[in-house]
């Protein structure tokens, strides 16, 4: 089952019009001291009540961040570090226990309906009509967003083409496509609905190297040509390094460091490792390698 927030949306005014009332022209996203815990009875955690109860997981643990308009912001973390929970908090799919999120000056809780129209989320479990083709699925989705049939027919092949999906693949049932291909269709769909803020939850996990590059180039293009702000999560160090303007490293629900890839690597440099890679930097900031971090988490954490 896929889930984008798409299904819940109705055709509304063009998203770009909404941003003209924005009072914080440089901040696309402002998250303030966000907390989300799971399990262990009460969901509400107060600052002084920490540490959390025994069987409680602090999925997002006092996270604050600002994402500038037109930025590609990466959240890098092991499985179970809280990336998806953070994305769901930022995209109105989950209520925080405490803390606030503003998207272009609108509060995700109070102004949920406005915020929903400005963003789109792509996650690994994207939902489609599997018997229909990519083209048909995208026609359906764009209609919900008020795109006319003519422009949809023109733009759908362009978007799919940019992601490396050839025209002859567009009209076959989606269920015959690989997971990687379906992931690309999900990204194309999110793009076609022209979100001003796009959240991509591990957009390249499980893709072959060629498809990874297609998706990465597509994200760069999206930012360049459509003034989109992108938050993406990944556990691919090289990808975060190459693609993101700034990166936050998340470990056990906490942001342990934030900065440009160059800043993080420079900060991690030492006598022993004068020119660290992003992987070295991850070790320095979290005290363990990605593999070790993943072993510490429950196996099914997603």
Ligand X SMILES: Nc1ncnc2c1ncn2[C@@H]1O[C@H](COP(=O)(O)OP(=O)(O)O)[C@@H](O)[C@H]1O
Least Å distance, CB 44 to Mg ion, is: 23
Q: Of ligand X, Mg ion, none, which one does residue 167 interact with (CB within 5 to 8 Å by kind)?
A: none
Is 80 a binding residue for ligand X by CB under 6 A? The answer is: yes
Tell how many helices (H) and how many strands (E) occur in the chain.
11, 10
Q: Of ligand X, Mg ion, none, which one does residue 298 interact with (CB within 5 to 8 Å by kind)?
A: ligand X
Beta pairing class for 197-201 and 119-122 = parallel
Both structure tokens of 168: 């002859």
The number of angstroms, rounded, from the C-alpha of 1 to the middle of its chain's C-alpha atoms is 18
Is 84 a binding residue for ligand X by CB under 6 A? The answer is: yes
Is 82 a binding residue for ligand X by CB under 6 A? The answer is: yes
Subset of residues 242 to 301 that bind ligand X, contact rule: CB under 6 A? 297-298, 301
The residues, ordered by sequence, that sit 6+ positions from 289 with a Cβ below 8 Å of its Cβ are 279, 282, 283
Is 83 a binding residue for ligand X by CB under 6 A? The answer is: yes
102-to-5, 108, 118, 149, 188 alpha-carbon distances in Å: 18, 6, 12, 33, 26
Is 183 a binding residue for ligand X by CB under 6 A? The answer is: no
Report the distance separating Cα 277 and Cα 272, nearest Å: 13
Alpha-carbon dihedral sign for residues 92, 234, 232, 171: negative
Q: Which is nearer to Mg ion, 114 or 247 (CB)?
A: 247
110, containing H or E segment: none
Q: Which is nearer to ligand X, 85 or 286 (CB)?
A: 85
As a whole number of Å, the end-to-end CA separation of the chain is 14
Is 206 a binding residue for ligand X by CB under 6 A? The answer is: no
Query: Binding residues for Mg ion, per CB under 5 A?
Result: 83-84, 302
- Of the listed pieces 83-91, 121-129, 140-148, 271-279, which binds ligand X according to CB under 6 A? 83-91
Q: Which is nearer to ligand X, 19 or 81 (CB)?
A: 81
> How many chain residues touch ligand X (CB under 6 A)?
16
Subset of residues 25 to 44 that bind ligand X, contact rule: CB under 6 A? 38-39
Both structure tokens of 148: 């006319």
Is 204 a binding residue for ligand X by CB under 6 A? The answer is: no
Is 91 a binding residue for ligand X by CB under 6 A? The answer is: no
Q: What angle do CA 287, 38, 91 make, to 5 degrees?
A: 90
C-alpha dihedral, 7 to 13 to 17 to 21, nearest 10°? -90
Least Å distance, CB 197 to ligand X, is: 19
Q: Which is nearer to ligand X, 39 or 287 (CB)?
A: 39
Single residue of 4, 81, 123, 182 touching ligand X by CB under 6 A? 81
Least Å distance, CB 154 to Mg ion, is: 34
The residues, ordered by sequence, that sit 6+ positions from 297 with a Cβ below 8 Å of its Cβ are 78, 79, 80, 81
Q: Are 76 and 282 in contact (CB under 8 A)?
A: yes
Q: Which is nearer to ligand X, 82 or 276 (CB)?
A: 82
Q: Are 236 and 204 in contact (CB under 8 A)?
A: yes
Is 53 a binding residue for ligand X by CB under 6 A? The answer is: no
Both structure tokens of 210: 């060629």
Single residue of 57, 89, 119, 163 touching ligand X by CB under 6 A? 57
- Of the listed pieces 43-51, 79-87, 188-196, 216-224, which binds ligand X according to CB under 6 A? 79-87
Q: Which residues bind ligand X (CB under 6 A)?
A: 38-39, 57, 59, 77, 79-85, 297-298, 301-302
């Amino acid at each position: 089952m896929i889930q984008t927030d798409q299904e819940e949306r109705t055709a509304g005014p063009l998203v770009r019009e909404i941003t003209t009332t924005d009072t914080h022209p440089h901040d696309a996203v402002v998250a303030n001291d966000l907390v989300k815990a799971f399990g262990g009875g009460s969901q509400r955690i107060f600052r002084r009540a920490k540490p959390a109860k025994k069987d409680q997981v602090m999925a997002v643990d006092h996270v604050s961040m600002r994402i500038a308009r037109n930025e590609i912001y990466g959240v890098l973390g092991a499985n179970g570090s809280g990336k998806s929970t953070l994305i769901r908090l930022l995209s109105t799919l989950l209520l925080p226990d405490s803390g606030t999120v503003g998207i272009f000056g609108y509060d995700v809780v109070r102004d949920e309906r406005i915020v929903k129209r400005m963003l789109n989320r792509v996650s690994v479990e994207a939902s489609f009509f599997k018997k229909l083709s990519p083209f048909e699925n995208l026609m359906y989705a764009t209609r919900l967003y008020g795109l006319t049939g003519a422009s949809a027919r023109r733009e759908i092949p362009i978007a799919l083409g940019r992601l490396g999906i050839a025209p002859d693949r567009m009209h076959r049932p989606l269920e015959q496509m690989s997971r990687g291909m379906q992931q690309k269709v999900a990204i194309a769909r999110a793009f076609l609905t022209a979100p001003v803020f796009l959240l991509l939850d591990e957009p390249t996990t499980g893709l072959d190297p060629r498809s990874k590059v297609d998706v990465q180039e597509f994200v760069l293009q999206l930012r360049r040509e459509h003034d989109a702000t992108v938050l993406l999560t990944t556990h691919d160090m090289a990808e975060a390094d190459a693609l993101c303007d700034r990166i936050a490293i998340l470990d056990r629900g906490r942001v342990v460091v934030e900065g440009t890839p160059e800043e993080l690597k420079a900060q991690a440099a030492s006598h022993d490792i004068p020119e660290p890679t992003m992987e070295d930097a991850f070790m320095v900031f979290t005290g363990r390698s990605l593999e070790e971090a993943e072993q510490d988490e429950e196996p099914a954490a997603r």
